Chain A
Amino acid sequence: MSRDPHRAGAGRLTRTYLRVGIMNEMQYRVNFLMEMVQSLLQIGTALAVLGIVFSHTDTLAGWNRSELLAVIGVYTLVRGLVNMFVQPNMERVVTEIREGKLDYALTKPADSQVLVSIRDVRFWQITDVVVGIVVVVVALVQLRATLQPSHVASFVVMLAVGTVSIYSFWLILAAAAFWLIRINEVQELFNGLYRAGQYPVGIYPSWLKFGLTFLVPLAFAVTVPAEAATGRLSWSAAGIAVAATCVLVGFSRWFWLRGLRRYNGASA
């Protein structure tokens, strides 16, 4: 089977859209300050809650205050990555399916899933990424953790795996619009579910833990990278995270293609 010579490669396409997206965002520099204020307010609230929780206890399901601080840092960091790259694209897909405007993406000579996943970048959400990294570093200093290269490498790998799993989950949610049409509220659903990630999934009852691991992959997105950062991660947990993410990527791809077959478009 020969490859269409006019079809754009995913790597080159991603770089081009990323560059254009960042240039676009750079025009609105005051937004950086606004996002920074919002990030600081949110982390301030999370720390206040942590303070109140730990004014009543010393450990929460085996996690001490500094370890939970690392979880909050990873939660903020992943939220920044998702808000920067994933959420704006998926919200746009949901709107375009409803309004029948997805045709504009489908008629382009590129893979539809790749194209709809890279068109928007909210670069200033990087403030959450920076704040998240700072909080993780503070937590590690409090834990007096000796930072080994293997911990850093496993943290980075698990962070990438977790972000991909969240992307796949979001793609499934967005593709549900092919059947349900009006699901503008899907972002509220995601934001609500994502909040569960600010605590390690181990504290939840077993049925909820299963749901937050295999249905909504928060365990892989937040808890596993936090375990990697604090040196609590086992090889088996890492293996399960990678395997489950591969399955999720495959399923979301299948679900997207299946949904596309139902799409009529506004001009059809």
Chain B
Amino acid sequence: MKRETEKLLLSVVGDEIFLPVVTAFVEKAAFCFGLGSDESLRLTLAAEEVFMHLCRKANRSGGRLQIACSNGGYFAQAVFSLPSEAFDLEAFNITASIAFDDDAALDSMGLVIASRSVDRFLLDREKGGGLELMLVKEKSYSPLPPEVEAAVAAPLSKTILRPPAPEELKFISRLALSYYDAGGLSDILLHPGRLADMMAAGEYACLAAVGGEGQIGGAIFWRNLGEKMVECFGPYIFNQPLASSISEELLDGCIGSVARTSAVGIVNVGPPPQFPERRFELLGTFDAYGPDGSSTAVEAWFRMLREDMGATVWVHPDLEVFIRREYAKLVLPREIRLERPSGETVPRHSVLCAEFDRPRGRVTLRPMWPGADEAENIGRHLKLMKSEKIPNIHFAVDLGHAWQTLFIPGLLAQGFEPRFVLPYAGKADVVVFQYGGKRP
């Protein structure tokens, strides 16, 4: 279970006069949570830009907002929470007020600068209807140096599964780098100190296959993605014979550990070669682009943890063929309700939230509010992401919300392709689109 983290709160009126209070609060909190001075300053800079943006562009009625700084063990985060009724929603598009014909103007836009300063930047709706802007800055960890001595694992005839001790975690990192190409590993394994902090914070869980004398033959990691989904990494197997069942045992151990939790499904994206595929279902693939333009096809695997009870989904007719094909492939019983605009009045401006994952060169856009300008808004976001040189642009549409179908024609028209359906990843299933991907 995730450990209770330290949390500090600041409640403040959205007025520029309070900027020094906000920056001092975030900076001191980040420092106390163990961020280095450079990381603390970057988080503070992002918080400053967000606060100023909120004061100038979004908060014309002087609404109050709350800033919560918390310690995630391997990261510190600042979350701005604000009631949506007091703020101008349109201003929450990261593209708000950007003059796209003036490249210099891009640099002066607060939310863009904020997104560049942190590792994760996320704008989302809170459960209570308010808005939440989250800035995450990870601590700085040294990667394993290339000259580190390779770790060696011996073939094991009998193993037990157990969570590794903290010191074993670092050794697992070394084993992973000794037996796998770094490019094929989940990046959680590339920084042993970060991995240890992630585990200590309860963010990740791990099972290791351990021999009678403490030798480690393999490991699997997992974390919760929201309430209903678990993401697992691995299993990573270290020098075990082909006939070994360690990989199956680790995967079964992971599934067994989450089987009686609130999770409905478990997903594994880009698993290693020993992944026992038959325990999962292939959802589809997407292309992972590197900064140099190279791409790798990444498979997304999934399995339900429960018997499916069926669900209702809302689908735009332009996506019907794809959706029916995917549901037939996954044998998921769904009542498909076709939905298209019929001239009803919609707000003028749509809002998209952008979740930046800078280290992976990825942004995931999600509709937050419908609006008549949905196609233009998608276009503005695309232009910004291209100018930011983010190679992986995804768009997630939650089929549990009829209003999100409004975005489908715009997405398809601007070069987004539906790649797969992720069951129960939102209110209902979520369709993941990729911009400009190469279809397999």
State whether these chains interact: no
| Residues of A that sit less than 8 Å from B by CB | none
**Footprint of A on B, CB under 8 Å?**
none
